[in-house]
């Protein structure tokens, strides 16, 4: 008996850490509880995780949510949105201070500092947000089997500051992953970009994928022949002559989406070394202005991007909740410096 399984979405080029499966049930399939059916077909997925996904409506049959007791029938079309499984690498708890804005039995909200990597990876096995979260969660009663593994459902770049939501149960992981997949999570970023953005508001639409020349850089493919569909809405908050403060709202969550999209329309992020924003891109790079910009770079030696607010439906209360953070010190200092230059 063979099922057709289609991996529709993965997180390779996405800031959203989920995987999406589509299964068409074989015509010879006998009646079987859906959790047992899926256990045999999805690798490295526990019964608890599947049941949590079913209860959170992240598992749907023929485009409708079902109960755990539902019995799979021939020709059923099953779609599953699951949080990405933990990596095989051992994660060591580290006592790293965290700015936790909110926490309950299901989730917590963290205001990540710039310079902190979200999860362990090549060249960054320690000192990450996940190492800090494992330490924070290890003694909580919600920790399962002593693992203390936090539930990441999205991420932000190392040198981007701001909000992340962390799931503490399988149910919440599935519930939040489904919202990210449905693009119903409300995410607002503040970005300082080079140049005077012409329109007060606009929408950037263009597939985002890895550059053929440099795998560390994401490129916009406007014809849609490569990469993944990406949409960024923006509006101007303040103009500073040679740079502009913009608010960006993500409709999708691709890797480096805002950084790639803003460069695509001719406005790279200020101090963004990867996308060319660490050079003077507006105004004459000479004399006192050159010295001014170099000092501004020193105040903010990373891309000027902050995840300002995050809104979503709470897994238990089913109410919409929203969190917001202040701009970090380096971002405020850069804005203040550009404000003084504007007044000259």
Please determine, for residue 3, whether its predicted confidence score (pLDDT) is greater than 70. no
The dihedrals phi and psi of 99, each to the nearest 5 degrees, come to -95, 90
Please determine, for residue 20, whether its predicted confidence score (pLDDT) is greater than 80. no
Q: Which of 22-36, 65-79, 133-147, 166-180 has the lowest average pLDDT?
A: 133-147
Please determine, for residue 147, whether its predicted confidence score (pLDDT) is greater than 70. no
Please determine, for residue 55, whether its predicted confidence score (pLDDT) is greater than 80. yes
User: Looking at residue 342, what is its pLDDT?
Assistant: 67
Please determine, for residue 75, whether its predicted confidence score (pLDDT) is greater than 80. yes
157 annotated active-site: yes
Contact predicate 216/274, CB 8 Å: yes
Residues of the chain with pLDDT > 90: what percent? 59
Please determine, for residue 303, whether its predicted confidence score (pLDDT) is greater than 80. yes
Among the listed residues 157, 159, 170, 272, the single catalytic one is 157
User: Looking at residue 329, what is its pLDDT?
Assistant: 97
User: Looking at residue 146, what is its pLDDT?
Assistant: 37
Query: Mean pLDDT, to the nearest integer, of 251-264?
Result: 96
State the burial class of residue 214 (Cβ atoms within 10 Å of its Cβ: 0-12, 13-18, 19+): exposed
**Token pair of 9 as six digits:** 């979405």
Contact predicate 246/197, CB 8 Å: yes
Per-residue model confidence as pLDDT tens digits over 152-202: 889 899 999 999 999 988 888 889 988 998 889 999 999 999 999 999 999
User: Looking at residue 90, what is its pLDDT?
Assistant: 67
């Amino acid at each position: 008996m063979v099922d057709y399984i289609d991996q529709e979405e993965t997180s390779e080029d996405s800031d959203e850490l989920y995987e999406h499966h589509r299964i068409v049930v074989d015509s010879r399939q006998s009646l079987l509880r859906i959790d047992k059916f899926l256990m045999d077909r999805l690798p490295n997925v526990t019964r608890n995780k599947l049941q949590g996904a079913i209860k959170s409506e992240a598992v749907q049959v023929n485009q409708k949510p079902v109960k755990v007791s539902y019995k799979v029938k021939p020709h059923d079309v099953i779609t599953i949105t699951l949080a990405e499984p933990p990596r095989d690498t051992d994660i060591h708890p580290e006592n790293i201070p965290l700015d936790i804005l909110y926490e309950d039995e299901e989730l917590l909200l963290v205001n990540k500092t710039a310079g902190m990597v979200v999860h362990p990876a090549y060249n960054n096995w320690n000192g990450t947000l996940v190492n800090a979260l494992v330490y924070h969660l290890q003694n909580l009663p919600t920790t399962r089997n002593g693992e203390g593994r936090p539930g990441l459902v999205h991420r932000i770049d190392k040198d981007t500051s701001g909000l992340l939501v962390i799931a503490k149960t399988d149910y919440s992981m599935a519930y939040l992953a489904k919202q990210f997949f449905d693009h119903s999570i409300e995410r607002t970023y503040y970005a300082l970009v080079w140049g005077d953005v012409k329109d007060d508001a606009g929408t950037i639409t263009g597939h985002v994928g890895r550059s053929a020349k440099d795998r560390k850089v994401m490129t916009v493919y406007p014809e849609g022949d490569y990469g993944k569909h990406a949409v960024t809405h923006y509006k101007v908050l303040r103009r500073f002559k040679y740079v502009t403060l913009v608010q960006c709202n993500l409709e999708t969550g691709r890797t480096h989406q805002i950084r790639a999209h803003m460069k695509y329309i001719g406005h790279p992020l200020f101090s963004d070394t990867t996308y060319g924003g660490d050079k003077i891109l507006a105004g004459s790079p000479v004399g006192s202005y050159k010295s001014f910009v170099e000092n501004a770079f020193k105040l903010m030696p990373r891309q000027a991007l902050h995840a300002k607010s995050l809104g979503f439906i709470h897994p238990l209360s089913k109410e919409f909740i929203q969190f917001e953070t202040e701009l970090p010190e380096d971002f405020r200092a850069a804005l203040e410096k550009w404000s003084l230059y504007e007044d000259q």
